[in-house]
Structure 1
Amino acid sequence: MDLEAEFTTEPFRAEAGGEPPAHASRAAEQARKAGLDTTFGPLGTTVRGASDQVLAALPEIFRAALDGGATRVTLRLDAATPPEQTGKPTPVVGGLERVIAEVESEFGGPLSGLSRADKQRAVRLLEERGAFEMRKSVPAVAEALGVTRFTVYNYLNRTP
């Protein structure tokens, strides 16, 4: 069985230059070192893997967060649902690039040249088309938009 663990570390504050706090970065790095599929975001980190692997890694992840200055760690743990059971299509190789190219075509050029409002609209279109269901999609979309991945997360968290 696979598990998905989503955790947040507090306090919520950005470091100088808009970087995430050390406790959040250290926890995510520890998850990566443990070999877990890790998605790092401004409001939390999600890790996925075999149940034994996830459960064995969590104490070290939390230790890294606390050593980095976290005063609280909140955890949500779920049995991961295989893509074939979610009703969402399984991403294909090159699928993200194809979806980005489609949205660029609709906007008439590279996403990096769009205004802020149009970049927000582009992120909504990408989300509607399942782009963010694909592994490592946020960094790729951020690169295409010419923004940071934290900006992409901010666009995703905005209400339409």
Structure 2
Amino acid sequence: MGGRVLAPAEAGENDVVLAWEGEDVVAVRLPQLADSLDHILAALERKQGRPLAELDRKAKQDVVKVLEARGAFSVRHGVETVATALGVSRFTVYNYLNRAQTR
């Protein structure tokens, strides 16, 4: 998801330090949530084998369902980012979200 591995001494307050048998061995710097959304979208695009905007409506609805489960819409401008990636309007993304919730 775009994290970076660091030496424990380089860890900042928001990094995750992993220890083994009481000894700090590695630190992980996780990306900002907005960066994670870009990584998730890129992974979904690779999985589909083509740009998300080229998917049919059903496939786009499925992508929105996956993104919702991963918390993509809790990110500031998440709906706008997803709408752009899917080649649809924000209104359409909200419709897909509502459709997924009524199932």
Using the size of structure 1 for normalisation, the TM-score is: 0.42
1:102 to 33, 43, 51: 43
Structure 1 outlier segments of 4+, above 4 Å: none
- Structure 2: 5+ residue runs without aligned partners? 1-30
Displacement of 1:124: 0.5
Displacement of 1:95: 1.2
Is this contact kept in 1: 2:72–2:78, CA < 8 A? yes
* Alignment of 1:119 onto 2:72: no
Aligned to 2:96: 155
Report how many aligned residue pairs link the two structures.
71
Q: Counterpart of 1:142 in 2: which secondary structure?
A: helix
Instruction: Give the % identical residues.
Output: 51
CA deviations 1:5-40 (Å, max 9, x no partner) are xxxxxxxxxxxxxxxxxxxxxxxxxxxxxxxxxxxx
Displacement of 1:93: 4.5
CA distance in 2, matches of 1:120, 1:152: 8
CA deviations 1:120-159 (Å, max 9, x no partner) are 0010011111111111100110000000000000000003
* Alignment of 1:137 onto 2:75: no
- Structure 1: 5+ residue runs without aligned partners? 1-89
CA deviations 1:38-74 (Å, max 9, x no partner) are xxxxxxxxxxxxxxxxxxxxxxxxxxxxxxxxxxxxx
Is this contact kept in 1: 2:64–2:97, CA < 8 A? yes
Is this contact kept in 1: 2:34–2:76, CA < 8 A? no
Is this contact kept in 1: 2:34–2:75, CA < 8 A? no
Using the size of structure 2 for normalisation, the TM-score is: 0.63
Displacement of 1:91: 4.8
